[in-house]
Structure 1
Amino acid sequence: MSFHDLHHGDRPLLLPNAWDFASGAALVKAGFPAIGTTSLGVAAAAGKTDAAGDTRDETIALASVLARLPVPVTVDIEGGFSARSTDVAELVTELASFGIAGINLEDGRADGTLAPLDHQTAVIAAVKQAAPHMFLNARTDTFWLGDPDRDETLRRAGAYAAAGADGIFVPGIVDDADIRAVLDVADLPLNVLFMPGKTEYERLARLGVHRVSTGSLLFRKALQAAVSAALGVTGDDRDHPALSYGDVQELVRG
């Protein structure tokens, strides 16, 4: 089954996000039909902060080995690692040459702003022209950065669909009404980020969401488990607290 087809099953595609080959291979062995990457995990493993736009080399290197996996792989390329649409298109073409099935392309920027809409639609169009078979998951950070903005979300979702995107990703969206509104306007597979206690899989399935991503959750849980296991060697059974996205960013900065 193709990566595109996996977005049109009876249940939402649960897409776990890996940060290295071993984590990806373990998830495949567990039976997941496709694998994504987490930009936080890739950046933090390299000693860099996420969303800073400087993990292009690490992202390409990881993609080249994850392409060996026997399932479709989609790669988080943040904002494309360049402000030039031609550069982003060339990057995606290189990923496609490895056999990568999809990409995540976001409009959020490191300074907390959103890329201008006309710029982002131009990038999407350039990528689809260069790599038409690549599943382009167009992420908008209208709910992730600052106050949730449904109107801007709908405007961008519609524009990204018109520019050629294959799917829409709105991390941070939670409410039923907001999710239904995006499903209605974009007419594309909708990707929602799993957030414990906020975006339950079964509820998202009932709403008609097509894809549920784990984002950085698995990476952060792995860090927590590693620390707890190390403490446990000496009989220290303290529960190491779960790490938030911000906690990992601070670890790297520190």
Structure 2
Amino acid sequence: MPTFKELHHAGTPLVLPNAWDLGSGLAFASVGFPAVGTTSFGIAASAGMPDGGRASQRATVALAGQLCRLPVHVTADIEDGYSADAAAVADLVAELAVIGVAGVNLEDSTDGHLVDPAAHAAKLAAVKLSAPGVFVNARVDNFWFGQETTVDAVLRRARAYADAGADGIFVPGVAAAGDIRGIAAGTALPVNVLAHPTLTVAELAQLGVRRVSSGSLPYRCAVDAAVAAANALRDGMPVPKATSYWDMQARLEAFQQGPEA
């Protein structure tokens, strides 16, 4: 299997589904995805909490540990590292590396606001020093939070993060094809975007994108599908088809037994 880093330099972009629990991770692995990420929103929402606020650390570490038992690369969405202290963030990523995590997303915002890029670069440098083998995807949140939403502003941050040792750049929220093309052309690092509402993965590849993440989309679709199934049952409509109870049970039993079974 290619390494996680090599998947960012293949002939086509890496399509990364983001899991919110073990069941979703098992499902993604079962259909052949070579890598699975976590979603901070999905994890927080499943626990009844809004995204952000450094609320998902314990659950994220626990889920990452479970997913690392699967035959896939695992990358963890760790918000801003759950701390403003670079050494604490580096220690967390080193802990994740020990359990087998191949990558992390580290965002340059806290509580919905961009942070000083120098402070974020210091986190990235500390992480690469403590866990050099982990693929660090530096998230640039200008477009996500609507602050300094220009290609030049994003690239200034991206260059600082590249100099600090980042392995990739993640720009959620960027939507215009010209902006995506400009960002991809302006950095040597592989560029990651979220699933686009109108552009296909192939079209994103033509713009220079190397990784497309589902983010919380599968979690939100799952909630919508659950409501649709309940509505159909209530309204006397045909219920939708779904993976059988027995197939899902078998996945969980195989997981509990481990690869040696």
Question: Distance in 2 between the 1:49 and 1:220 partners?
Answer: 14
What are the within-5 Å matches in structure 2 for residues 25-36 of structure 1? Answer: 25-36=26-37
Task: Report SS of the residue matched to 1:96.
Answer: helix
> 1:233: which partner in 2?
233
The aligned runs of 1:42-53 (5 Å cut-off) are: 42-53=43-54
Task: Name the structure 1 match of 2:115.
Answer: 115
Partner SS for 1:74: strand
- Matched to 2:177, the amino acid is D
Equivalent residue for 2:11? Answer: 10
Q: Aligned residue for 2:85?
A: 84
Q: Is the Cα contact below 8 Å between 1:121 and 1:159 reproduced in 2?
A: yes
Query: What SS class does the counterpart of residue 143 from structure 2 fall into?
Result: coil
The 1:192/1:126 distance shift into structure 2, 3 A limit, reads same
Structure showing greater Rg: 2
Deviation (angstroms), 1:124: 0.2
Secondary structure (helix, strand or coil) at the match of 1:228 reads helix
Instruction: Assess if the C-alpha contact under 8 Å between 1:7 and 1:210 holds in 2.
Output: yes
Deviation, 1:184, is 2.6
CA distance in 2, matches of 1:33, 1:87: 30
CA distance in 2, matches of 1:30, 1:136: 26
Distance 1:162 1:237, change over 3 A: farther
Map 1:31-70 to 2 at 5 A.
Answer: 31-70=32-71
AA in 1 matched with 2:115: A
- Cα deviation, 1:87-109, whole Å, max 9, x if unaligned, reads 10010011001101000000122
> C-alpha distance in 2, partners of 1:225/1:28?
21
Q: What stretches of structure 2 of length at least 5 have no aligned partner?
A: 239-261
Residue 191 of structure 1 aligns to a residue in which SS? strand
In structure 1, runs of 5+ residues without a counterpart are 239-254
Contact 1:142–1:153 (8 Å) recurs in 2: yes
Please, what TM-score do these two structures have when normalized by structure 2?
A: 0.87
1:236: Cα distance to partner? 5.0
% same residue: 52
Corresponding residue for residue 129 of structure 1: 129
Q: Summarize the alignment of residues 126-165 of structure 1 with structure 2, pairs less than 5 Å apart.
A: 126-147=126-147, 148-165=149-166
Query: 2:95 — aligned with what?
Result: 94
Q: 1:31 offset after TM fit, Å?
A: 1.2
Contact residue 185 and residue 208 of structure 2 kept, 8 A: no
Segment drifting more, 180-189 vs 97-106: 180-189
Determine whether 1:185 maps to 2:189: no
Distance in 1 (CA, whole Å) between partners of 2:184 and 2:231 is 46
Aligned AA for 1:125?
A
CA contact (8 A) 1:36 1:74 kept: yes
Structure-1-length-normalised TM-score? 0.89
Runs of 4+ in 1 over 6 A off after TM superposition: none
